């Protein structure tokens, strides 16, 4: 193919800023390979609420369904936090994942040699870290029914349901074993089986899938509280991590500090291979720095690289984008979040300039 149809969802907060930088880098990469991107912008989140009254308008879903792939920046912000649940930006993001069947979220965390001193963690702890969090994305307490708030005996109670079915666990376990097969062949499944029935089922099903279909993979299990500690104590023990939606959300933000900044971690959300995936940074809309041109666009640019690899099946394009990011980091350019205060040689740049530099390196 020489033209790819991309639906771009800039969303809220820093979303439009990092989207502009990413499109610049992606188009520069494309032109190296005579590839054009036909990009249509769609509304999601707060921006969609303001324009249409819905955080996930039908026409955005239609645009996504017709695309080769989908690039998303981030949604959310204080402006919409008091809205009823169904009119919050986050509900749009969850509806997107559900409607597109994106049950597998791959969140790689690989230490970047140039940023070892930008992390708050010690160099020897993070040097050489290369792990992948495989997060289940369309189940768990995020989607479980019943849920809600009710009055009971003169007070208010609120409840959500942490629930997984066997087929949901089986399919994410298979993804994790397939991912591990391309990496270190080691999967650590993370749960809370010492307390939660849903986690006991999780552990039993993951073990069975491994014994039936993936005997070449070494499987271990860990409780989530210990895993949170082990991730900062000695992260190099991990290769592929598989976990439910909520634990994966939390542990992947924690894992970003192994790389130096939340602004560095990309992700791929995948489901049926016949449908487009969604590629987005793991971070949010960062309302605290929105509109200031200081956000780090690299997580989204690296998400675009994952899109080229997983959806567009163009590994050379992905490699080119990743190499350009490396080259820019080698040259000393840093957004505010990845500065090493003791390094005299860095140059502080904004979001726009970082995007231009990556495009220039292509």
Active site residue 310: no
Does residue 129 belong to the site contacting ligand NAD (CB under 6 A)? no
Active site residue 1: no
- Tokens describing residue 129: 């870290």
Active site residue 225: yes
Which of residues 15 and 76 has its CB atom nearest to ligand IPM in the complex? 76
CB atoms within 10 A of CB 187: 27
Which of residues 71 and 93 has its CB atom nearest to ligand NAD in the complex? 93
Q: Which of 225, 272, 330, 343 is catalytic?
A: 225
Q: How many residues does the chain have?
A: 362
Rounded CA separation 239/130 (Å): 7
Quick check: 256 and 276 in contact, CB under 8 A?
Answer: no
The contact pattern for ligand NAD, residues 278-297, with x = CB under 6 A and - = no contact, is --x--xxxxxxx-----xx-
Active site residue 34: no
Residue closest to 221 by CA, chosen among 235, 238, 234, 233: 238
The contact pattern for ligand NAD, residues 88-127, with x = CB under 6 A and - = no contact, is --x--x----------------------------------
Active site residue 122: no
Pick the binder of Mn ion from 249, 280, 311, 337 (CB under 5 A). Answer: 249
DSSP conformational letter for 122: -
- Least CB distance from residue 354 to ligand NAD, whole Å? 10
- Least CB distance from residue 261 to ligand NAD, whole Å? 6
Quick check: 281 and 303 in contact, CB under 8 A?
Answer: yes
Quick check: 109 and 282 in contact, CB under 8 A?
Answer: no
Rounded CA separation 330/48 (Å): 38
- Tokens describing residue 38: 């036909």
Q: Which of 130, 253, 319, 340 is catalytic?
A: 253
Q: For helices 315-330 and 15-32, what crossing angle results, to 10°? A: 120
The residues that touch ligand IPM, with contacts defined as CB under 6 A, are 76, 90, 93-94, 249, 282, 284
Residues that bind Mn ion (CB under 5 A): 249
Q: Which sequence positions are flagged as catalytic? A: 142, 192, 225, 249, 253
């Amino acid at each position: 193919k020489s033209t790819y149809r991309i639906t771009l969802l800039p969303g809220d907060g820093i979303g439009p800023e990092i989207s502009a930088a990413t499109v610049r880098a992606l188009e520069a990469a494309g032109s190296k390979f005579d590839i054009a991107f036909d990009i249509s912008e769609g509304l999601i989140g707060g921006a969609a609420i303001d324009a249409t009254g819905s955080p996930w308008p039908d026409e955005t879903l239609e645009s996504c369904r017709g695309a080769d792939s989908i690039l998303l920046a981030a949604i959310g912000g204080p402006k919409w936090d008091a809205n009823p649940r169904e009119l919050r930006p986050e509900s749009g993001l969850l509806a997107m994942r559900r409607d597109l069947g994106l049950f597998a979220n791959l969140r790689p965390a690989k230490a970047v040699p140039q940023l070892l001193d930008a992390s708050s963690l010690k160099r020897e702890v993070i040097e050489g870290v290369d792990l992948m969090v495989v997060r289940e994305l369309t189940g768990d307490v995020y989607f479980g029914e019943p849920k809600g708030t009710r009055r009971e005996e003169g007070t208010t109670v609120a409840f959500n349901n942490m629930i997984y079915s066997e087929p949901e666990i089986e399919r994410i376990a298979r993804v994790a074993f397939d991912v591990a097969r391309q990496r270190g062949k080691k999967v650590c499944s993370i749960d809370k089986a010492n307390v939660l029935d849903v986690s006991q089922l999780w552990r039993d099903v993951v073990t069975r899938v491994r014994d039936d279909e993936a005997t070449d993979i070494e499987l271990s299990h860990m409780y989530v509280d210990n895993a949170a500690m082990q991730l900062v104590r000695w992260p190099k023990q991990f290769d592929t991590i598989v976990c439910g939606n909520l634990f994966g959300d939390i542990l992947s933000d924690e894992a970003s500090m192994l790389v130096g900044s939340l602004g560095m971690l990309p992700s791929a959300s995948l489901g049926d291979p016949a449908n487009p995936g969604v590629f987005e940074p793991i971070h949010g809309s960062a309302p605290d720095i929105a509109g200031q041109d200081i956000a780090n666009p690299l997580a989204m640019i690296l998400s675009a690289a994952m899109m080229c690899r997983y959806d567009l099946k163009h590994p050379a394009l992905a490699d080119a984008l990743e190499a350009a990011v490396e080259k820019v980091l080698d040259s000393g350019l840093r957004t505010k979040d990845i500065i090493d205060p003791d390094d005299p040689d860095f140059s502080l740049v904004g979001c726009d300039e970082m995007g231009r530099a990556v495009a220039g390196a292509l």
